[in-house]
């Protein structure tokens, strides 16, 4: 049975950027946020690559990318992402700041997904990153699943294998560097992806052009949503002082360095 895979992915500042918090009239944000280069949220990006890979294995599968973020940043990011995997974009113009509430975000995502024309709920897989690189909470997908009435959910997923009978096996990261193996009878299900096993696909300009034919209108027509939770207040947002007074040891022999390290490791 063909699957409908909906990947929920927002955009985040490039992980290599240093971030400076800033109090604005609308709450906390990031200094020069609109100037910072953005990328598709890394774990959600893995979810997209896994979705595209899965769709290739089953005839008739369809992949939607539901992306909530400010239009300008969505547009910039899609120029790259569109070259990586085939998808139909559903864009939502809303704040992608980390200083927002996941329940509000989940409600907006649920509404957007429910509006997909001809949505096959019985064969629906909701994908996303298990945590974002902004709020880093791992809460949105679960709430989204609840809103869509999906009670088979998996988080920190590294692998999905479809079985011939419509069921699938999932590997989830669990405490202690292990994986839990589960078998689910079939869709619908929610999968919050960790890194997975796939490398980032190479850029494919032809695929990018094909995607952008529909992605650009989707971004231009994106409806705006207010995800501000008035009962939530942030205070004292700061980049922690990290500077340590590092003792640089250049003139010790290898044996002396080893001795010092071992003594340090053995101290209580």
Partner 1 sequence: MEKILFLSHTEATGRLSAHALEALGAAVHLRERTGGELVIGLFGGRVETSQVSGTVFSVSGEAFAASRYATDAAAGEQLCKAAGATLVIAPATSRMSRVFSGIAARCGACVDSHVAGLQVKDEALVVTRWYYRQRLQAEMTRASRPWFISIDAGVFEQFKGPGNVIVEQISPAVDASMMRTSVTGIQAPAVGEQTIKPDATALFVAGAGWTKKQADGRSHVAEAADLILGFLKKSGASLGSTKSLVDLQGEGQEVLPFMTHLNQVGQTGATPRHQKGLAACCHGEEPHVVGWRFINERRAINLDANCGWARGKADVLYVADAFQVMEQVNKLLSE
Site for partner 1 in 137-166 (CB under 8 A): 137-140, 142-143, 145-147, 151-156, 158
User: Which residue in this structure is represented by tokens 């790259």?
Assistant: 80
Cα of first residue to Cα of last residue in the chain, in angstroms, is: 59
Closest C-alpha to 35, from 11, 10, 13, 67: 13
Nearest to 62 by CA among 70, 73, 72, 54: 54
Output the smallest distance, CB 168 to partner 1, in A. 10
Residue of the chain from 7, 8, 82, 171 that contacts partner 1 (CB under 8 A): 171
| Residue written as token pair 């952008």 | 212
Which of these ranges, 58-66, 67-75, 83-91, 178-186, lies near partner 1 under the rule CB under 8 A?
A: 178-186
Per CB under 8 A, 201 contacts partner 1: no
> Three-class SS of residue 58?
coil
Stretch that binds partner 1, among 115-123, 135-143, 202-210, 219-227 (CB under 8 A): 135-143
- The residue (of 190 and 215) whose beta carbon lies closer to partner 1 is 190
91 beta partners: 67
Phi-psi region of 159 (alpha: psi -120 to 50; beta: other; left: phi over 0): beta
- Taking the least distance from each CB to partner 1, the nearer of 134 and 211 is 134
Q: Does 118 bind partner 1 (CB under 8 A)?
A: no
180 binds partner 1 (CB under 8 A): yes
In the region spanning residues 206 to 245, those forming contacts with partner 1, defined by CB under 8 A, are 229, 231-240, 242-245
Closer to partner 1 by Cβ: residue 78 or 110 = 110
């Amino acid at each position: 049975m063909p699957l409908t895979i909906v990947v929920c992915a927002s955009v985040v500042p490039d992980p290599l950027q240093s971030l400076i918090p800033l109090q604005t009239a609308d709450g906390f944000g990031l200094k020069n946020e609109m100037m910072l280069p953005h990328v598709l949220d890394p774990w959600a990006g893995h979810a997209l690559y896994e979705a595209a890979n899965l769709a290739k294995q089953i005839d008739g599968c369809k992949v939607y990318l539901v992306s909530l973020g400010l239009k300008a940043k969505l547009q910039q990011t899609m120029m790259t992402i569109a070259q990586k995997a085939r998808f139909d974009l559903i864009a939502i113009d809303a704040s992608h700041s980390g200083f927002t509430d996941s329940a509000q975000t989940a409600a907006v995502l649920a509404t957007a997904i429910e509006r997909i024309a001809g949505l096959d709920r019985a064969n629906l897989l909701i994908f996303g990153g298990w945590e974002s690189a902004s709020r880093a909470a791992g809460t949105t997908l679960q709430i989204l699943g609840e809103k869509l009435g999906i009670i088979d959910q998996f988080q920190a997923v590294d692998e999905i294998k479809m079985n011939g009978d419509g069921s699938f096996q999932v590997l989830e990261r669990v405490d202690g560097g292990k994986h839990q193996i589960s078998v689910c009878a079939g869709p619908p299900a929610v999968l919050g992806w960790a890194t997975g096993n796939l490398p980032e696909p190479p850029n494919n300009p032809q695929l990018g052009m094909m995607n952008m034919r529909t992605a650009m209108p989707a971004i231009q027509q994106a409806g705006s949503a207010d995800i501000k939770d008035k009962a939530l207040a942030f205070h004292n947002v700061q980049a922690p002082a990290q500077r340590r007074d590092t003792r640089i040891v250049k003139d010790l022999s290898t044996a002396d360095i080893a001795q010092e390290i071992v003594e340090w490791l053995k101290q209580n």
